[in-house]
Amino acid sequence: MRWLFLLVLLANIAIFIWGYSSENEEVAQLSPVVSAGIGNIKLLSERQGAGVDPGQEPPSLLADSDSQPQQEPPAAMATGMADQVPQQEIAEPDDQETAGETSRENLQEEGDQEDSGEALVAKADDDVPVEEKREIPPYCGVLGPFEKEEAAIAISENLNKLGFEALRRQQSIIKTTGYWVLIPAADSQQEAIKSLEALKTKGFRDVRRFLQGSLRNTISLGAFSRRENAQARQREVEAKGFKVEVRPRSSESVIHWIDVRLEGEGAGRASATLRENYPALKIREQACSRVVRL
């Protein structure tokens, strides 16, 4: 039993020695190789324990860094130092904050562009002159004349269907219906009869004497519808030695007119509309102030 106790004790001592030596080897392997130009790194607790002010840099470190030029450590040494020496972390900007700021800047730029675009459009609108809608003046005209009232009535009704205001009016005129070939009136009835007998003697049979009216004691040699025919008769009688004259034969008659007026968009082509529908009529445009409205 005593030997068993001793054996266990020796085994524990051997395990302790083996474990202690393994820890020293691991510490030796993890200890970084420090370059000659780099000072020692101490913990803050060690510096406080040594009586050094935490805010003051160790003299040895300052002396080393000021007096000796720093040498760039080899890559392997730098790697070891990087693992052991604490480095100051640089705070990277938050992606969300950066994206938010970028988005706000883009929105602000887009807003400025839209404002500038709206300003340019507004300026362009101000520069462009506003074209006022030109008002089409009304059309006024006259159709006719018409000798028969029935024709004027029918055309007026058709004009109303086309959108025109149509007003009929009539006018009394002295109309030339032909031409007289006359021997002027004699001073007395006897002289008129004497002239009539002389004409018959010369071979003129179609003659007669006016017994009353404005042509009393005047001798007629015929009535002609055309002036040329009347003038030919005049030359024939004058060749026999008689004094002859040609007078128009007139009568009073009534003619009819249609005054038209059209307003609105159709007034621009009112004249063309009238000529398309009434190509044989006389159409005359005139001032609306001269046309009586219905």
Question: Both tokens of residue 164?
Answer: 């025109």
Q: Is residue 169 part of a domain?
A: yes
Domain that holds residue 263: 139-290
What does pLDDT average to over the chain?
75
Domain membership flag for residue 62: no
**Between the ranges 41-45, 120-124, 171-175, where is the mean pLDDT highest?**
171-175
The answer to whether residue 151 is domain-embedded is yes
Domain count, the chain: 1
> pLDDT for 11-45, tens place per residue?
888 888 877 776 655 555 555 555 555 555 655 65
What average pLDDT does this structure show over 143-158?
A: 96
Please report whether residue 168 resides in a domain: yes
The answer to whether the predicted template modeling score (pTM) of the entire model surpasses 0.85 is no
In a domain, 277, yes or no: yes
Residue 256 lies in a domain: yes
DSSP secondary structure, 74-120, as one string: PHHHHHHHHHHS--PPPPPPPHHHHHHHHHHHHHHHHHHHHHHHHHH
In a domain, 82, yes or no: no
The answer as to whether 157 is a domain residue is yes
